[in-house]
Structure 1
Amino acid sequence: MEQAQRSSPRDLLTHLFVMAGLYVSAGMFLSLVFGLVDAYLPDLLTSYYDPASGIRWSLATLTVVFPVFVWGSWFLAKDIAANAWKGELRIRKWLVYITLFAAAALVIGDLVSLLYNFLGGELSGRFLLKTLAVFAVGAAVFTYYLYDLRRSALIFSPRMKVFVIAACLVVAAVVVTGFAVAGSPFRQRLVRFDQQKVSNLQTIQGQTVYFWQQKERLPQSLDELRDPISGFTAPRDPQSGAAYEYRATGALSFELCAEFNLSSKDALNVPKPEPLYYPYPGGVTENWDHAEGRACFARSIDPELYAKPLR
């Protein structure tokens, strides 16, 4: 009868559930920390990046999974306190030892990486912060589960209670910072509107250059870009539905204008290198940095760069 209790499917699934929550929470916590480091200490060699996209996914997962993991751990501790023999379950010991091994391997690998990069002279602030985060997570997991493996089922030391509370507060602080960087859902919708507007302007720019290549002149209005064969129609502002502003300013120059909700500098609540670039499909990188409100982009066609196709 006791052996049947020891091999209960409920115990097996509960322990697997809690450990899965631990691994997911630890992974998403590190992913969130890495995203915040990239946001506040951007790589100047990267011309375009959006750390908020990765931060949002880590934030959503951690916000849901971590409280479930904490509740599951509390439930297990309460169950073991009421049934001391469950502290000796094989599934529990196997999972705890596997977790200790993984945490120790993580810490050792982290230290090896730190030493390797130190010898190579590559100890940047970004790398040190990420290394510290990995070390802290590995050490915290190892410390807690080593204590949990050795402690009596009825005793939970005050020091470990403080340790657990401190760990939860650290996670909460990182989550709050993540929300501050990612911004509110309303703000993110405005950012996406602005990104779509830039994409539309790029499309119009490309079609305008193609029009010039084919007809050796610039269109007088966006209506001239309409092509019933290819099906192209100049896109409109996705937010207001209005047509974008276009004006030919010379034989080889034109201007595109749109209304933006936010400055591209303020699209993320973090500092980033200047200026903001979007890759242009033709291989030429144009600056699409813009202010809040109406912004115009002056473009000039280089006849040598955009050679007319042979007829």
Structure 2
Amino acid sequence: MRPSDQLAEFTREALAAGRSRDDIRAALAQSGWAKNEVAEALDAWADIDFPTPVPRPRPYVSAREAFFYGIMFVALAMTAWHLVALLHNLIDHWITDPLEENAGRYVLSSTRWSIAALIVFAPTFLVLNRRTVQATKADPGKRRSGVRKWFGYVTLFLASLSLLGDLMAVIYALLSGELTLRFILKAVVVAGVAGAIFAYFRQEADEARDAA
């Protein structure tokens, strides 16, 4: 039996025997268990007045949801990337740089790819996200999905890196005297897309934490 299983079994039996949480916590601490391990073992059981220990809802992992959220994550990443690329190309078209020669053909090809990617991936993400929201409303227990939490926090992590990198690029351009209108508009695009994604999934993460 694994140590974690031993700890869980001991905690359940002690609670079933009517021992207080303070007594259990003290006994486990004297036995060498770490505070976080003891707290996690006790948090697994609801602190309510009932003859037998009542388990709390715990996060779960589903292979089906891993596949679903994997597709959703790729669709979101492709949508964000190509939306930024498309808007950057439009900025380059509106505010031309006389030092860049023969850039028109590349911009046109890149724009076509971005439009094609958005036509495919943007509806995919929106449909999958809508299904996720509807499924969560029908079954709030899905907010405890471990895959869902990982998806949300990885997305928050990447959005945060994008915002920090965007800010760093702006500061560097300012210090080097290259902070042009075109650069500022491109930085605003990156900040807007990354900020919108961060705000949305921050709310999702807060709701998932409240449901845990």
Distance 1:48 1:7 in 2: 51
Q: Which amino acid aligns with 1:41?
A: I
Residue of 38, 55, 60 corresponding to 2:92: 38
Specify the SS of the correspondent of 2:178.
Answer: coil
Task: Compare CA radii of gyration and give the structure with the larger one.
Answer: 1
Residues matched between the structures, number: 150
Matches within 5 A, 1:115-126: 115-126=171-182
> What is the identity percentage for the equivalent residue pairs of Structure 1 and Structure 2?
30
> Greater relative contact order (Cα 8 A, min sep 6): structure 1 or 2?
2
Q: Which amino acid aligns with 1:75?
A: R
CA deviation map 1:200-240 (0-9, x unaligned): xxxxxxxxxxxxxxxxxxxxxxxxxxxxxxxxxxxxxxxxx
Find runs of 4+ consecutive structure 1 residues off by over 6 angstroms: none
Tell me which protein shows more strand as a share of its residues: 1
Matches within 5 A, 1:60-209: 60-151=116-207
CA deviation map 1:160-198 (0-9, x unaligned): xxxxxxxxxxxxxxxxxxxxxxxxxxxxxxxxxxxxxxx
For residue 72 of structure 2, what is the aligned residue in structure 1?
18
Unaligned 5+ runs, structure 2? 1-56
CA deviation map 1:263-302 (0-9, x unaligned): xxxxxxxxxxxxxxxxxxxxxxxxxxxxxxxxxxxxxxxx
Q: TM-score, normalised by structure 1?
A: 0.46
Q: Which amino acid aligns with 2:127?
A: W
Specify the SS of the correspondent of 1:145.
Answer: helix
Cα shift at 1:152? 7.0
Tell me which protein shows more helix as a share of its residues: 2
Distance 1:18 1:147 in 2: 17
Contact 2:162 2:194 in 1 (8 A): yes
For residue 63 of structure 2, what is the aligned residue in structure 1?
9
Unaligned 5+ runs, structure 1? 154-311
Cα shift at 1:75? 0.4
**RMSD over aligned Cα atoms:** 1.9
For residue 81 of structure 2, what is the aligned residue in structure 1?
27
Distance 1:152 1:22 in 2: 19
